[in-house]
Structure 1
Amino acid sequence: MRETAKLSTQNISSLVSTGAGFDLLRYYTLPDFLGKDAPYLLYFMGKNIARETTLETWEDLYEFFQYMGWGELKLIKEKKKEIIFHLSGHIVEKRLTQKLHNVDFRLESGFLAQMIQIITSDTYECFEQINKKENAVEITAIKG
């Protein structure tokens, strides 16, 4: 079995992608293979990707989202048992306004849940809500 390097903002920037190929996998191929469980499995795939990273700070996390082509992630509000993030930008807007398929942000939510646990040492679950009017996504992390 081949050993792979952990993902970081330094080495992820060397990957080149338009995102279109990734979207084809996410919205066509994976749902075909995974069936109705695709959203749940994408969430856990996101968590798995996070476990393979070396990110340690919120700034690293925001930069990683940019490099992955997931959009601009910003922490909006932090409460005792809840953290609210805003995911926006050109990439998110393009995903939300296209007409080919229904979009979700389960992969990003799973990744974020695991990264919050890595950064804070507390367990969180993330839920996303699409705001088509603003072409953005609000991701709420709830402490478990």
Structure 2
Amino acid sequence: MKALVLLGCPETPSQTPMAVYASDKLTKLGYDTTIAANPAAAKLVKVSDPEDYYNLNIVDLERTLGEVQAGDYDLLLGFVHKDAAAAFFVTFDQILDTKSIALVFERDLDLVGQFVEMIEESGSKAKICAVRAFHNPSPIKINLDKALKELE
């Protein structure tokens, strides 16, 4: 089984530790996990694992978008905390046409609602986990753990 984790702009402090956490959880569930990230997010994730303890497979988000095809992954997990991240998630979701989880979070609850609406209006069948969060990764972690438990 293969999972693709999407990371966009690393503006929110919660995204990087949650990306490492998500990759670890997915690997333990038996997924061969790939993180597709923009250059800044990729650097932050790499710095977060200096000894390569988690053996993270990190690829370029834009390049992956140009190459990915339906059937390449069994699970899509997207970190959605900006409108661009929602657009990337929806695009990958439509191309891959696979199980998907959108972790929607922002400090502004109105924006959380807007991002959820963007995903829903796309016709996505993704499991949407939405929470108000920015600095504290715990609410995101709780939602991710619940969503992954449903996959087991």
Q: What TM-score do the two structures reach when normalised by structure 1?
A: 0.25
Q: What TM-score do the two structures reach when normalised by structure 2?
A: 0.24
Structure (1 or 2) with the larger CA radius of gyration: 1
